[in-house]
Amino acid sequence: MIHTVLSCLFVIILVSMTACVPSWNHTGGSQLLPPPNEMKAPEAGRAAGPRQVSFTVPAGWHWFIRGEDLIVTRDGVFLQQIFIERIQVDQVDQDVLGTFWLVAWSSGVWPTRTVKSLNRRFTPAMSPMDAAKVLIGSRENDPAVADLKVRELTTQTVAGHQAFRVVFDFRLKDAVLKASPLYRSIYCGCMVDDWFYGISYTATRRYYFEKDAQTFEAFLQSVRLVAK
């Protein structure tokens, strides 16, 4: 009897895990990241809501939409990943689809979500360099990030908008891997109306970063912000 009950409980847990773990999409080519379903219409006096994001998935890469974010990888998120996040200026938290106590740490927490560690807010019409300071401050304030070093900070045009481009190295604290490798990130971000759009590429500094850097540059060139 006890064995039967435990077996049934295990099946229930297994089904719950399956329902909550994000489903990877293997379809390449041009794709569209729609506005999050939970986003409400803009308040009176506010600019338009979040834009849809069009992008081209690199051949052989896999992707899924995690809440309001997009994650793209070829070999696994702890080796290399491209990440798109959208943050509304009043936002202080960010939901993750399917958060469950047995869901893999990689899908629930990693990649790092900027909004979770903000120590100051993005504001409408904020300059690229001021937005970069907000982003870097979030990384410095993130309890999972260690040994952060900014290597480069410039501006560039992304999807027709003036954006910042910051390159930084870091390690992970309390990583799934006992000894966290050194990571390098390229993060590009811009303000459009009341929304911040961040597009990043993160990979282990050894081997994977250089290997897939040009793939990210091609992905970045493919990104467009599409008004509804």
Please give the domain boundaries of the chain with CATH numbers for all domains.
2-226 (3.40.1000.10)
Q: Which residues are CB-neighbours of 204 under 8 A, at least 6 positions away?
A: 78, 79, 80, 181, 182, 183, 184
How far is Cα 12 from Cα 16, in angstroms, rounded to an integer? Answer: 6
Res 11: pLDDT: 33
Mean pLDDT, 10 residues at a time, the chain of 228 residues: 38 37 83 70 56 94 90 95 94 56 50 90 95 97 94 97 98 73 97 95 96 98 91
**What pLDDT is attached to residue 136?**
98
Q: What is residue 18's predicted lDDT score, i.e. its pLDDT?
A: 36
Q: What is the pLDDT of residue 206?
A: 93
